[in-house]
Amino acid sequence: MLPALALSQGEDGNAEAPVKVGITEVPPFVMQSENGEWEGISIDLWRQIAENMGQQYEWVPLPFSDLLEQVESGQIDLAVGALTMTAQREAAFDFTHPFYQTGLSIAIPPAPDQGLINSLLSLLSWEFLSVVISLGALLLGVGFVLWLFERKRNSDQFGGSAAQGIGSGFWWAAVTMTTVGYGDKAPTSLTGRTIALVWMFAGLIMVASFTAAITSSLTVSNLRSQIQGPDDLIRANVATIANTASEQYLLEQRIRHQEYPDLTSAMRSVASGETDAVVYDRALLQYRNLQLDEDRLTLLPSVFQKQLYALALPAGSPLREAVSEQILMVTEAENWQTNLRKYLGEN
């Protein structure tokens, strides 16, 4: 065990003051449980380091906006969390050895079962049903107009009660639109035939639109499953969080995206079909994904825009060398990966 490093002394000149450890809540690295205890990957790491060093410490919860400023000014002795090592930050204060490597990753809806039943269920979407209802209303309208002009001059085919006549008009509009044309019913008046001629050409457009709606409903999930990496995001609608590294990446790559207030909302938008994928820090995606239950997403294996997490100390801190050594010892131990799986699940 390494000896404790005295950073300051008490009033008697001998007692060692505890190290002030600044923390900002960022699950799963720093979290506060229901009973008020701090826990998480970074918290467990520091507790093990402090135990190995025999170092006394106290937690100093801070908003993230104040955390790095107080490290730089020396108001706190150490910052524990999910701090990314950057050249700009290194110029302002010191970092220990990194303890976690991460980066941006992509989460997509789980791959659907490719079966007949699932294909048929995809036809029950509101988008598809709205097209069917609109088409039925249009056929009814065309049939009604034709019945108005044919009910007297062509009573054999469009006569009877109003319901029977309109029904005959609806049937004629449907078989004409689909170009089946049984020939069992045909208008005889000049106005009726003019309506028929217009409807024949309009029917070609209607059939094409209806076919496109069916194709879209059946293949939308397949299109989403084609997202296999960052290069595929250009044709997707991506969910992310404002003012984050993931949003900056999407802006730089000119990828269409929607902003959400938190990661859970962004991930649920993918599960509901509102967006096609979510791009965010992989470790945080893994943690939140474990909490989604039936809405759990599929995390793609690729990691891009890689980042390193480390602990931060004031420049020239006497703790740096000893803490860095302990980080290497803790992260090389067998139980480190077990601890990661406790918070993140399987990688």
Cα gap 114→98, rounded to integer Å? 43
- DSSP-derived letter for residue 16 is B
**Rounded Cα–Cα distance for residues 281 and 245 (Å):** 8
Q: For the chain, how many residues are written?
A: 347
What whole-number distance in Å separates Cα of residue 156 and Cα of residue 154?
6
Q: How far apart are CA 142 and CA 138, in angstroms?
A: 6
Q: DSSP 3-state helix, strand, coil percentages of the chain (rounded to 5)?
A: 50, 20, 30
The angle subtended at Cα 10 by Cα 9 and Cα 14, nearest 5°, is 65
Structure tokens at 207: 């059939």
Q: Which domains does the chain have, with CATH numbers?
A: 19-103+307-344 (3.40.190.10), 116-225 (1.10.287.70)
Q: What whole-number distance in Å separates Cα of residue 133 and Cα of residue 314?
A: 67
Q: What is the pLDDT along the chain (347 residues), one digit of tens a residue?
A: 444 444 444 444 444 689 999 999 888 999 998 888 999 999 999 999 999 999 999 999 998 879 989 999 999 999 999 888 888 888 999 999 999 998 999 999 886 555 555 555 555 666 667 777 887 888 888 888 888 888 777 777 787 788 888 888 888 788 877 766 666 677 877 887 888 788 787 877 777 777 776 666 555 555 555 788 898 899 899 999 887 778 888 999 999 999 998 888 999 999 988 999 999 988 889 888 888 878 889 999 889 888 899 999 999 999 999 999 999 999 999 899 998 888 887 65
Q: Is the pTM of this model over 0.75?
A: no
